[in-house]
Structure 1
Amino acid sequence: MLRSNLLIPVAICALAGQAIAQDTIGTDSLPSVSSERPYSPNADRDFPTMALFGDTHVHSALSADAGGGGTTLMPRDMYRFARGGQVNSNTGQPVKLPRPFDFYMLTEHTDGMGVITDIMRGAPNIMADEQGKMFHDEFAKGGDAAKQASIDLIAQFSQGTLSEALLYQPGSAGYDNTWKDLVQAAEEFNEPHVFTAMIAYEWTSLVAGNNLHRNVIFRDGPKRALQVSPFLMAPPKGSPDPRDLWKWMQTYEDKTGGDVLAIPHNPNLSNGIMFAPNDTFRDGAEFDPEYLKTRAQWEKLVEIGQTKGDSETHPLLSPTDEFADYESWDWANLDVSEAKTPEMLPFEYVRSVLQKGLAFEQAKGTNPFKLGFVGGSDIHTGLTTQDDDNFFGAFTWMEPSATRATSVAKGNDDLGIDYKGWQYATPGPTAVWATENTRAGVFDALERREVYATTGPRITVRFFGGDYTAGDLKNRDLARIGYANGVPMGGDLKAIDTAPAFLVYALRDPIGANLDRIQIIKGWTLSDGSTQEKVYDVVWSGDRLPGADGKLPPVGNTVDLNIPSWTNDIGKADLATVWVDPDFDPSQHAFYYARVIEIPTPRWTAYDAVKFDVDMPVEVKLITQERAYTSPIWYSPKG
């Protein structure tokens, strides 16, 4: 009793800097304290403990290809929605998220910023331009006419035939006022430790319809961000060459003392040039050392998936991977002006690109494709809806209706290509492991690549490489062990002679489906510079055993398409293991990342079929297996 009664006065005296008389309390009445490690496992903890979920790529009505197609939601509407508020969609339907985002990045297109509002209202300078008046008249009709006008606008911009009157430049009132308002809106809704509104934009580079977009993300607030204007594609102030974007980024940091990074757009619309093996803007010349170094400096991440499909890998690139054909989007470039060919695929699917990065490192000493993974939505409705039962589409014409799944989205009759609404995917979030929910906390996680992407669910995943044993799994504080004995996702393993161990564990989305399995994907180089890949099932639910072919049997399927719904009678809520690479060669460059697979669940098209009582055509996918992709961990040999 004596000790407990004296705790408060002792604390007060100590805080006040007052001495405690020896005869007031004896030293033997206080517990001894170890100087080696605090009793509290949370004391002196300096590693990130917060898994924050957000969107790194989304558009409001201020982007021409959104506002022109009927989107009316503006930046402040979007932030209210992202924070959990209910809004009316562009077609007047009430919509709300099941839970708010932790962070949000509104990435309006740079080129034409501010022009769509002038087109819609028929500003005098727009109506004086033949093309401008035509777009105003078509957009004003709404419906299919506005949708087609939006497609035409994208196509003409892609091919360089858009009128200069519609390419607002920094220095014009329309452009500058729009940028200032975007920055101000982010500042109004940014609430440190509660909701982070990052300042960002999308650099809208296109080469003959091939997508080279990058999302540019600021660590900073308005004081620094407003010292510059976004970098454009269109001349005279812009350029489609990424080298010029990187120069702009260096100039920004030199001028303001700020920090900025660029995230390449989901590369499956680039027709092979987003990660081309040579310089598209130098007549296919070999990359020089400065290019390799500069790209590695500014582009540490890639958007691995979004509403326009998944870019992890492709069945033609990974024929032995039974999960490779996931939401594939492989028929053309952005404006459907050029068909996709198999030769393009290795340069626009991330697993293959990572392998090519290893080959560059082996041959040139620098890996320009050392990329962590983020998710994005690229939604043009102002509504990031990532749940299959709450999907409001990629564009306004795709908001919930009985016909949206079977409506033609875009096509090219001359090439015999078209695709329909059902082929869009529900997009997934970016998850960051952060120390705090602030602009600095989110940005720093992105910059060190301690991030991962999911296809929708908020799966929690940790992935470490280093020195671990199976006995470590008995400890519930796995993160502390992970950081103490190795590196997290996005990190680099030290050169070693013995095979590295990987500690991976995942927890299902609390309101989602159970987990089927965790896989580790490895890519590596051979001595001749060629590359290999392999998928390892490292831990799974149930008592399944791999077959003679080494493949794990499917987990099963509890989906009831009549409801639609599923049950968690199969799978497991969490999975964890320590895995040691059985094929490790210390002389080979390698990367490893984890892929977490859920049990089957209904796809958004299944919910549409029930809600609108429609029979979907046989080619429409109704069941999905959502997943998460961690950023890789890299290994480089000695020397």
Structure 2
Amino acid sequence: MRRAAKLAGTALALILTASLPVSAQTATGDAGTPDASKLEGAFPGRAYSPYAGRNFPDRPLFGDTHLHTEISMDAGAAGARLSPADAYHFAKGNEITASTGQQVRLSRALDFLVVADHSDNMGFFPKLLAGEPAMLANPTGRKWYDLIQAGKGAEAAIDIVTQFSAGTFPEEILSLPGSPAYKSTWEQIVKSADDANDPGTFTAFIGYEWTSQVPPGSNMHRNIVYRDGGDFALQVLPYVTLAPLGSNNPRDLWKWMEAYEEKTGGDILAIAHNGNLSNGIMFPVVESYDGQPVDEAYAQTRAKWEPLYEITQIKGDGEAHPFLSPNDEFADFETWDKGNLNVSAPKSDDMLQYEYAREAFKNGLVLQEKLGVNPYKFGVIGSTDAHTGLAAVEEENFFGKVSSMEPSPERTSNPFMKTDVATIMEWEVAAAGLAAVWATDNTREAIFDAMERRETYATTGTRMAIRFFGGWEFEEDDALSRLPAHVGYTKGVPMGADLLPGPEGDAPTFLVAALKDPIGANLDRIQIVKGWVDAQGATQEKVHDVVWSDMDTRQPDSDGKVPTVGNTVNVPAATFTNEIGEPELITVWTDPDFDPDLRAFYYARVIEIPTPRWPAYDAAFYGLDLADEVRVVIQERGYAAPIWYEPGQ
């Protein structure tokens, strides 16, 4: 059941209701509302209260759409002992005991969470850990069990994933859809989400990760999120990659999603995994990895089912790459470009443009000219992909990718993955990220609907607030408003929306604002990234610094670059000060190079001042001397979903 018509009208409804006077509303007689019979009459003028009649999202909700627990075969083997119920309990702000026995708690509760355990082999690991006879009777199962018992779970996890991906996993110990173990595990996942869901306070989504890994290990994963409760989700078992019960091909996943909605009347969406480990197959432009063409049907189907993209997470950042964007001094951020998912095949430069979000946005414009549909018109979110059951990605509170990487004196010097192709050290793992959603309520329905209309942004773990609107009427004085959203919804469209042609001769204007994380770092700058296809059909991009701290003294140089903001980080102490930067930034910006005949996209990137990266906190806590190559300073950031300019037909 798709709600395209409903969603298409949502932005307009928000624009209109944002400015409705109180007199347009009906007194209900509810508690706190005067009985209409006692009122002398409807107020005839404009309401004095600027908050009366407000019907748009007034605060961002922060969450994680990609968290694994002990149920996932790789997470369990690597030491995770937390259940989905534990994961939701922790996300609500409660202190729990991590798998390594350490006490852990978030600085602040999350607003929502998707426990996204792997759909493949669901139910396998609990049986292996319990040492069930059938598991131990198999030589490979016995080997894995013994490794886990000997404290070598990380080694077992790598072997389990490698054998599953290679098709050499012992069939007799697989947990397949239809088996009692698989069914009961899915029921546990669904029940945990339904039990934890607390509308208005905390949203627990039902979900899973479809873990497509195209040989020899190229990442095509998707996280499936349900708008529905267990009464819908239990009607159809999750989709897997193992043939003949499933497929590695996203086209087949989309068919399964269509069938689910037709059978249940429910709603689901897919979020593509950060593409930096796909070795060039996440965002095809001519044909997909299976040789099938990227045609109109492909574009329409992908756009329908995948409104969001995971732009940043523990295994690196996926916004931009310095090879593709050499003029962007902030493009080389938490870059993972050594190989595919299991580092079994090396990376080459020709793969990169099919892996990063900015290139997908640009190539999507080309495909729209060719096919009439843009398959890569997606919003963005961040998430963790933690395999610990803990959505703990604050730099000073980072509990690692897997439980064997939870805080210890050794993790800044241990290899995370080591193959003949490359070595990735644990210190290269990023403490990221979070999904931010502008939803009207903290409920499954409201958050899901905001995801579908792409009114989202990603952060690398910080909880900054970002507003981004596009229109034709924004004025400089609009940046003086303490209610920028009121102005934004009234005069324009929000992040994730299309901007239609304006008055002839005008250029689009953008209202962009950011507020620092209340307990985090000040802001360095806000940038607007523009991408377009020129008259010759070539993709172009430009990064504009539109507002920054200390604008009176930090003047752009001859190349138009704004100087660095400075650095207050004391690395040995793992501290910083907010003596530089600004707690909030806001401006109205007009595109100086606008051509009304050319499709374009615009998105906001908000960058904080430098702060300690998680290895610096480890070094201060454990008294470590870190290797020179270890990165100890970071500039956290947020990415707003684009606004797409659509020329008239």
Q: For residue 17 of structure 1, report the CA deviation from its aligned partner.
A: 7.5
Q: CA separation in 2, counterparts of 1:85 and 1:44?
A: 35
Matching residue of 2:140: 131
Q: Is the 8 A contact 2:314 2:384 kept in 1?
A: yes
Matching of residue 421 in structure 1 with residue 396 in structure 2: no
Q: For residue 472 of structure 1, report the CA deviation from its aligned partner.
A: 1.3
Q: For residue 128 of structure 1, report the CA deviation from its aligned partner.
A: 3.2
Superposed counterparts of 1:473-552, under 5 Å? 473-496=479-502, 497=504, 498-542=506-550, 543=552, 544-552=554-562
Matching of residue 313 in structure 1 with residue 320 in structure 2: yes
Matching residue of 1:341: 348
- SS of alignment partner, residue 60 of structure 2: strand
Q: For residue 221 of structure 1, report the CA deviation from its aligned partner.
A: 0.6
Q: How has the CA–CA distance of structure 1 residues 11 and 228 changed in structure 2, closer, same or farther, with 3 Å as cutoff?
A: closer
Matching of residue 553 in structure 1 with residue 535 in structure 2: no
- SS of alignment partner, residue 438 of structure 2: strand
Superposed counterparts of 1:72-87, under 5 Å? 72-87=81-96
Q: For residue 540 of structure 1, report the CA deviation from its aligned partner.
A: 0.4
Q: For residue 125 of structure 1, report the CA deviation from its aligned partner.
A: 2.6
Matching residue of 2:156: 149
Matching of residue 254 in structure 1 with residue 262 in structure 2: yes
Q: C-alpha deviations, 1:584-610, integer Å up to 9, x for none? A: 111111100000000000000101111
Matching residue of 1:226: 234
Alignment counterpart, residue 399 of structure 1, candidates 389, 406, 414: 406
Q: Is the 8 A contact 1:167 1:234 kept in 2?
A: no
Matching residue of 1:242: 250
Q: For residue 281 of structure 1, report the CA deviation from its aligned partner.
A: 4.9
Matching of residue 465 in structure 1 with residue 470 in structure 2: yes
Q: For residue 528 of structure 1, report the CA deviation from its aligned partner.
A: 3.1
Matching of residue 55 in structure 1 with residue 64 in structure 2: yes
Q: C-alpha deviations, 1:154-178, integer Å up to 9, x for none? A: 1122222222234322110110000
Alignment counterpart, residue 593 of structure 1, candidates 585, 588, 603: 603
Matching of residue 619 in structure 1 with residue 625 in structure 2: no
Matching residue of 2:7: none
Which AA in structure 2 matches 1:555?
V
- SS of alignment partner, residue 416 of structure 2: strand
Matching residue of 1:6: none
Q: CA separation in 2, counterparts of 1:400 and 1:179?
A: 30
The answer to which of 268-277 and 570-579 deviates more is 268-277
Q: How has the CA–CA distance of structure 1 residues 621 and 17 changed in structure 2, closer, same or farther, with 3 Å as cutoff?
A: closer
Q: CA separation in 1, counterparts of 2:323 and 2:537?
A: 21
Which AA in structure 2 matches 1:423?
E
Q: For residue 48 of structure 1, report the CA deviation from its aligned partner.
A: 1.5
Q: CA separation in 2, counterparts of 1:299 and 1:568?
A: 39
Q: CA separation in 1, counterparts of 2:346 and 2:38?
A: 81
Which AA in structure 1 matches 2:458?
A
Superposed counterparts of 1:286-305, under 5 Å? 286-305=293-312
Q: CA separation in 1, counterparts of 2:141 and 2:38?
A: 80
CA RMSD in angstroms comes to 1.8
- SS of alignment partner, residue 554 of structure 1: coil
Q: CA separation in 2, counterparts of 1:60 and 1:510?
A: 30
Which AA in structure 2 matches 1:116?
F
Structure 1: state its 5+ residue gaps. Answer: 1-9, 21-29
Q: C-alpha deviations, 1:119-164, integer Å up to 9, x for none? A: 112223322333222222222221xx22111111111222222222
Q: For residue 50 of structure 1, report the CA deviation from its aligned partner.
A: 2.6
Q: C-alpha deviations, 1:52-88, integer Å up to 9, x for none? A: 0000101001101100011111111111111111111
Matching residue of 1:635: 645
- SS of alignment partner, residue 434 of structure 1: coil
Q: CA separation in 1, counterparts of 2:401 and 2:293?
A: 37
Q: Is the 8 A contact 1:524 1:531 kept in 2?
A: yes
Q: C-alpha deviations, 1:221-247, integer Å up to 9, x for none? A: 111111111000001211111111111
Q: CA separation in 1, counterparts of 2:256 and 2:241?
A: 12
With the length of structure 2 as denominator, give the TM-score of the two structures: 0.92
Superposed counterparts of 1:109-120, under 5 Å? 109-120=118-129
Q: CA separation in 1, counterparts of 2:97 and 2:497?
A: 43
Matching of residue 574 in structure 1 with residue 584 in structure 2: yes
Q: C-alpha deviations, 1:412-454, integer Å up to 9, x for none? A: 12x3x11111000101210100100000111111111000000
Q: C-alpha deviations, 1:82-127, integer Å up to 9, x for none? A: 1111111111111111111010110000101010111112223322
Q: CA separation in 2, counterparts of 1:16 and 1:202?
A: 50
Q: C-alpha deviations, 1:575-629, integer Å up to 9, x for none? A: 0000000011111111000000000000001011111111100000010000000
Sequence identity percentage:
51
Aligned length in residues: 615
Q: Is the 8 A contact 1:52 1:103 kept in 2?
A: yes
- SS of alignment partner, residue 271 of structure 2: strand
Q: For residue 397 of structure 1, report the CA deviation from its aligned partner.
A: 1.6
Q: How has the CA–CA distance of structure 1 residues 533 and 185 changed in structure 2, closer, same or farther, with 3 Å as cutoff?
A: same
Q: Is the 8 A contact 1:362 1:529 kept in 2?
A: no
Q: How has the CA–CA distance of structure 1 residues 627 and 15 changed in structure 2, closer, same or farther, with 3 Å as cutoff?
A: closer
Matching residue of 1:171: 178
Q: For residue 527 of structure 1, report the CA deviation from its aligned partner.
A: 2.6
Q: CA separation in 1, counterparts of 2:599 and 2:546?
A: 21
Alignment counterpart, residue 196 of structure 1, candidates 200, 203, 206: 203
Q: C-alpha deviations, 1:192-247, integer Å up to 9, x for none? A: 10111000100011111111100000001111111111000001211111111111
Alignment counterpart, residue 274 of structure 1, candidates 272, 282, 286: 282
Q: CA separation in 2, counterparts of 1:197 and 1:514?
A: 31
Q: CA separation in 2, counterparts of 1:282 and 1:453?
A: 30
- SS of alignment partner, residue 327 of structure 1: coil
Q: CA separation in 2, counterparts of 1:32 and 1:311?
A: 53
Which AA in structure 1 matches 2:476?
A
Q: Is the 8 A contact 1:363 1:529 kept in 2?
A: no
Matching residue of 1:264: 272
Q: CA separation in 2, counterparts of 1:118 and 1:408?
A: 29
Which AA in structure 2 matches 1:351?
R
Q: C-alpha deviations, 1:388-407, integer Å up to 9, x for none? A: 11111111121111110110
Structure 2: state its 5+ residue gaps. Answer: 1-28
Q: Is the 8 A contact 2:191 2:230 kept in 1?
A: yes
Matching residue of 1:212: 220
Q: How has the CA–CA distance of structure 1 residues 19 and 53 changed in structure 2, closer, same or farther, with 3 Å as cutoff?
A: closer
